[in-house]
Amino acid sequence: MLQTILLQADSGGLLSMLPFVAMLGVLYFFMIRPQISRQKKEKQFQSEIKKGAKIVTTSGIHGTISEINDTNATVTIETGAGKIKFEKSAISMELTRRHNEKK
């Protein structure tokens, strides 16, 4: 009985793996690869941010960067309420670039 089970499994081994391999390929190209690309763009954006840029944080706070501390990856943002220290990763987008691109 064990021999018949092994023979049945062996007869369609490569063909039965094809849907699984195809599913992994689709998963990679539609989910993993775009996520890696987004992470690279976000890291590049955070490294290129300059003093004086108008930004929005992930929590929705609008302000202007007044100081950048690269050693511990923080920025000081000047808002209407005063100065606040944030992590660079908390910066969502730069408003200065968006306004320049629209013109």
**Domain limits at 28?**
19-48
- Residue 85 covered by a domain: yes
Report how many domains make up the chain.
2
- Residue 9 covered by a domain: no
> Would the pTM of this model clear 0.85, i.e. be above it?
no
Give, for all 103 residues of the chain, the pLDDT tens digit. Answer: 556 655 555 556 667 778 888 899 999 989 999 999 999 998 888 888 889 999 999 999 999 999 999 888 899 999 988 999 999 989 988 887 655 555 5
Same domain, yes or no, for 38 and 81? no
**Which of 54, 72, 52 has its CA nearest to residue 62?**
54
Cα angle 97-58-45, degrees, rounded to a multiple of 5: 40
